[in-house]
Each structure stands twice: as C-alpha cells, then as structure tokens.
Structure 1
Amino acid sequence: MNRPIELSTREQIVHMLKTKAPLTAKDITNELQITEMAVRRHLSTLERDGYIESFTVRQTMGRPTAVYRLSELASGFFPKTYHTLTLDLLGELEQESGEEMINHLFELRKSKLEKKYTTNMTGLPLAEKVVLLTKLQNENGYMAECEESEDGNFVIKEHNCPISHIANQYKHACHCELELFKSLLQVDVNRTECLSTGGSKCSYVISQSKG
C-alpha cells in the first residue's frame, strides 16, 4: 500500500504557491490550519533565500495586501525531464543520420562557446584565464573551483555536470569540453577524472606551458 509523502510546512507552502499562486499569508494560513505567525516566519525565510517573491495588491476596501509567488530559483524544487526529451531526440537523430551527426552537433556547440568566451580571455595571463573559465563554468551549473598546484600547474575541478545524462551516453560531449578548454587557455590541458566514467568529479590539469 502506498503511503502519501509527508511534506514539511515549508514544502507545503512551496507546493501551494506552485499550484495556486498568487496567495496571501491568510490564504496559506487557512489552507494549512496553522498560525499566521508561523506562516509568515516560513514566508520570510523563503523570501530571504530567494525562493519566493512578494508584491502588493490594492484592495477595493481596506489596506493593500501582500501576495506571494515563487521565484525562478524555486523551479529547482520540481522535477524536470528535459534530459529524457533531449536523449530521445538525439536517439532519433542518430538513427536517421548516424553518430557523426551527433558529434557534429557537439562540435557546433563547442565552436559557439569558443567564440562567445574568447573575446574576454584574449590577452589575459593564464592564471586569470583559469579563474574566468571557472567562473563561466560555475554560471553554467558545473559547481567548479580552481587552484594552483605545488608544481605550478592549475587544476579545475567540476563537482557537477548539467549534461551528465547526455555525456553518459555520448562521450563526444566530454571530448568537446576538453578541446574547448585547450582552445580558450592555449596551453596543454589533461582530464584526470571524469563524472561520466564513474569519477567523483571532472578534474582538469592545466599546464603553465603550451603542450
């Protein structure tokens, strides 16, 4: 027998705002049957953390009322199946046009990112390029960090892969990321660990000199 999943009060509020927003604190209080003070405490925390937004609505009678809705950041609370759709489409394309076409798409993506990032990196010292590349990867969801090792080389570690479901099936995606790093940094770059092959992270060793 399946038991209903028990949600915390905060999770219930997020779910309500996803399905019924905009809502006032009173709306939420009436639905959850808890004190309005408790509801406002949860709303304050969610708003502080950037998961909800509030705005004022003028009433025909009485004072204006604050109402709440979810922010873009809160979308991460809810399941997405984008990777499933993407893999299905890539699978169809592979059947129609072969693996070479899939690889060509990854190459096009690499070229696009290369053109996008090169301008800001041109003329920078290697250390600054590494820091900027790490920042760009973080903005794209890779949870990246960089450090300088004792031998004078640099290391970029990525603890998350936003396209892991794709990279697990199409290894050329990983190849293109490595080639992108080499092109942007203009030095030798070696991947020593990879999430798609069972590693705990993707790790890149960046040499001070050209390879």
Structure 2
Amino acid sequence: MEGTSGRGQRGLFARKELRNNGVVKNVGDSAHAHEAVENATARSVLSPRDRVARSILDHGPSSAADLAERLGITPVAVRRHLDALQAAGLVTSREQKVYGHRGRGRPAKVFLLTDSGRDAFYQAYDQLAADALRFISESAGGGERGKEALAAFARSRLAKDKERYQQALGECADTGEKAQALAEALSGDGYAATVKSAPTGEQICQHHCPVVHVAEQFPQFCEAETEVFSQLLGTHVQRLATIAHGDGVCTTFVPKAAVPATNPTTATKKSEEDVSGRNPA
C-alpha cells in the first residue's frame, strides 16, 4: 500500500539517522551528559545544513547570528544553508517578537521550521497508529474477531478513497484505461503508481506506500486495498508483491476482461477452429 516536500534532497534530514535516538535517550539522568552526547551524535551524522535545521528544532526560532554562534560556523555559511532550507519549504522567517521596550532599528529576523520541516524529523505517528489498531483488535476480543474488526476498519478507511477513485475512472471501459486512471489517482495520494502492460493484462505498480509501517503489522490494510481495486476495475485482481512484505514494489495484476461472444454458434465454430490442426497429445 502506502507526500512530502523537500525530503528528496541529498543528505537532508536522513530519517533513518534522525529517528535513531535511543542511545541518546538512555544516557543517565544528567541533563548535561544528555545534551553533550546528543550534540556529538548530531555532529557526527548530520550535514551542516541538517545541523542548522536541528538547532532550530531544539532551540526554537533563531536568528542567523544565534545559529552561527551555537553551531560554530560562520554567519555567511548559516545564511547559505537557511536560503536552501527556505527554498525547499522547510524553513520560514519572521521578525523577532520584542517584549517590553523596543529599541531603534528593525527587529532581528528569526527562522523557524515549517510543518514540512518538522515532518522531516522522526515522528511517532506510525507507532501511535499501530497502538490504536492493536487496541481495536484487543477490544474486539482478539483472535478472529480482532482480525474482523481490523478488516472492517480498513474497509471503512478506504471507502472515501474508493469514491474518489471511482470518479477518476469515469467512463473508462478498457481494462488498460481503467488501470492507468487508477494509477494516476493513487499517485495523487502519494503511492507513486505506474502501469506495465503484459500480454494477459496490466500490472499496477505502487513504488511507495505511505502506511507501510502499519501494513507490515496489519495485513488487513493490503487486503482491503486489493478488494477496492477489484471492485473499481470490475474484475478479480491478484496481489503479486507488497512493500509491507519486503518487496521493492506493490504489484497488482489486472487480467484483461474476456470479450463475451454475441453469437453462441459463432463462438462454438471459433473454438473448433482454434483447436483444429493441433496435436491432441
């Protein structure tokens, strides 16, 4: 199964590295030791640009001068990194709020992370979703009842998506056209889907899964999605591979619809012609 901005940049917010904070979070009770280890870890795995963003995350809205002093790099370098972060939509700026008497001159400009910038760092949403689903399963009694409850939730979640995808398919009648329209709709939801033609049908390939970490634990989501594909395309489909199971791409095979014969006599004659001249053995 399974959109982000600015995460495709080289070296920017390596999620795998940033979410590996377990070592830092278990360094005794000393706040100073905690901060020292965290800073050392950040310096060792983050690029200078990432360090600028991380410093804003840790300390809140910061001026270029604050960042330069905090990180031990030149103001010119800080501004270069800030320009790149702003261009990527990960950082924005505003005038620094002044409380009390305001002196002469313009207030200093401070920089803060946008929602996309915060999302680039590790969030616990996947774990929260998994915990909620596990609670649903246990509340239903676990076992088969729990699985049925999860399946019902997965179908309910996909119901609105199904309505939108149905509109996207519109008046498409050909299997290939339907598959292509569905792939485009899926791409709009972040699945990066494409279609590959095969002699006996089409393959819908989803190169990304936004909910892969949940689908790994709860296969009901993949199963419900397959059901929706079958309903939308009007034919039985077969899931050949899923990212949740360790495959590189989620692949769904859509067989070509059989063309019904309008004249039974003609169909019988055609069948006889097809096998005529063949060796029965």
Percent of pairs with identical residues: 27
Aligned residues, how many? Answer: 210
**After the TM superposition, which residues 170-181 of structure 1 pair with which residues of structure 2 at under 5 Å, given as runs?**
170-181=218-229
Name the structure 1 match of 2:182: 133
Shift of 1:115: 2.1
Q: Mind listing any 5+ residue stretches in structure 2 that lack a counterpart?
A: 1-22, 25-36, 260-281
SS of structure 2 residue aligned to 1:23: coil
Larger radius of gyration: 2
RMSD: 2.8
Partner of 1:186: 234
Q: How does 1:90-129 map to 2 (within 5 A)?
A: 90-97=133-140, 98-99=145-146, 100-124=148-172, 126=174, 127-129=176-178
Moved over 6 A (4+): none
- Does the residue aligned with 1:146 lie in a helix, a strand or coil? strand
The one of the two structures with greater contact order (alpha-carbon pairs below 8 A, sep at least 6) is 2
Match of 1:168 in 2: 216
CA distance in 2, matches of 1:150, 1:106: 30
Q: What letter is aligned with 2:171?
A: G
**One of 45, 52, 58 as aligned partner of 1:13:** 52
Distance in 2 (CA, whole Å) between partners of 1:125 and 1:70 is 47
Gaps of 5+ in 1: none
1:154 pairs with 2:193: no
Residue 83 of structure 1 pairs with residue 122 of structure 2: no
CA distance in 2, matches of 1:148, 1:157: 8
1:193 Cα offset (Å) = 1.2
- 1:73–1:58 Cα change, 3 Å: closer
**TM-score when normalising by structure 1:** 0.83
Q: TM-score, normalised by structure 2?
A: 0.64
Shift of 1:125: 5.3
Q: Structure 1 pair 210/58, CA: closer, same or farther in 2 (3 Å)?
A: farther
C-alpha offsets along residues 103-154 of structure 1, whole Å, 9 cap, x if unaligned?
1111212323212332232213555543443333334333x23134252743
Match of 2:71 among 13, 29, 32: 32
3-state SS in 2 of match to 1:168:
helix
